[in-house]
């Protein structure tokens, strides 16, 4: 069943949307284009333009990701990603989600008859393949963090070492998070290490966003609310719209 997020937005979230709308409509007007970004990629597949953003809600199904009590990372990832996809749709940005319900993706391409012992590795391979074959301008992995030290908190963005655009998009997202989510967040973007499977192998621009720490009681309480998840999604929307406009202008 397709995941349908409920966008019941408060005034704070609307402020983010107006910010994003200004990015889309205002700059489009300066460039003589209608609202909704026409940035690369432009090649069509079966008559359908490719997505500009691939949204990858991490984990799913048997893989719950980080967990604290009944709060599972896989569920929060999907909820944030679903809201983000709705915002892209609202403003005319083409996007694709790797999963829209609670599942792993190991059998997405039916590569094997028996996936026992290989589900996690093939799940990651499938997510990578979806992103690579999409022709998208940006892959956005949506995750939550966890650390033994409860005081650790704050959204942080990792980027692929394989393209300059990856670092560029990470910088924009991190700056928006500091400005609009938590001015006390001093975290900096980080280049992905070999432990981050997709970012190390992907060839399209790519970031992985750790939206917060479930191990931090205060941040977990925020992430458990629909209001805060919508704020996170709105920040991701506005910052990635900014990125699309920058690459469209050749920055």
What are the tens digits of pLDDT across the range 161-193?
999 999 999 999 999 999 999 999 999 999 999
Q: 206-240 as b/e, with b when 16 or more CB fall inside 10 Å?
A: bbbbbbbbbbbeebbebbeeeebbbbbbbbbbbbb
What are the tens digits of pLDDT across the range 128-156?
999 999 989 999 999 999 999 999 999 99
The secondary structure of 120-160 as a DSSP string is HHHHHHHHHHHHHHHT-SEEEEEEEE--SSTT----EEEE-
Residue in the structure block whose two tokens are 């997510």:
127
Which of 26-35, 77-86, 163-172 is predicted with the least confidence, judged by mean pLDDT?
A: 26-35
Distances (CA, A) of 32 to 90, 120, 143, 204: 21, 46, 37, 28
Q: What is the CATH number of domain 11-248?
A: 3.40.630.40
Give the three-class secondary structure for 25.
helix
Query: Can you give the pTM of this predicted structure?
Result: 0.85
- Listed in sequence order, the residues at least 6 apart from 55 whose beta carbon sits closer than 8 Å to its beta carbon are 81, 84, 85, 95, 96, 97, 98, 140, 142
């Amino acid at each position: 069943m397709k995941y349908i997020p409920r966008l019941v937005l408060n005034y704070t979230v609307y402020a983010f949307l107006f910010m994003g709308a200004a990015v889309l409509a205002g700059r489009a007007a300066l460039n003589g284009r209608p609202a909704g970004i026409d940035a690369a990629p432009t090649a069509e597949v079966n008559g359908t333009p490719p997505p500009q953003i691939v949204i990858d809600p991490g984990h799913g199904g048997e893989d719950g990701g980080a967990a604290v009590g009944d709060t599972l990372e896989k569920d929060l990832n999907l909820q944030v990603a679903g809201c983000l996809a709705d915002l892209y749709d609202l403003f005319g940005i083409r996007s694709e989600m790797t999963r829209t319900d609670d599942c792993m993706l190991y059998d997405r391409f039916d590569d094997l008859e028996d996936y026992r012992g290989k589900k996690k590795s093939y799940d990651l391979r499938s997510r990578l393949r979806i992103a690579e074959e999409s022709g998208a301008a940006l892959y956005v992995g949506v995750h939550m963090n966890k650390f033994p030290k409860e005081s650790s908190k704050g959204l942080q963005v990792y980027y692929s070492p394989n393209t300059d655009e990856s670092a560029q998009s990470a910088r924009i997202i991190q700056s928006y998070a500091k400005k609009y989510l938590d001015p006390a967040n001093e975290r900096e973007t980080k280049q992905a290490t070999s432990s981050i499977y997709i970012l190390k192998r992907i060839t399209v621009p790519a970031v992985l966003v750790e939206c917060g720490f479930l191990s931090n009681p205060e941040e977990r309480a925020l992430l458990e609310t629909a209001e805060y998840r919508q704020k996170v999604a709105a920040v991701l929307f506005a910052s990635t719209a900014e990125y699309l406009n920058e690459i469209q202008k050749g920055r």
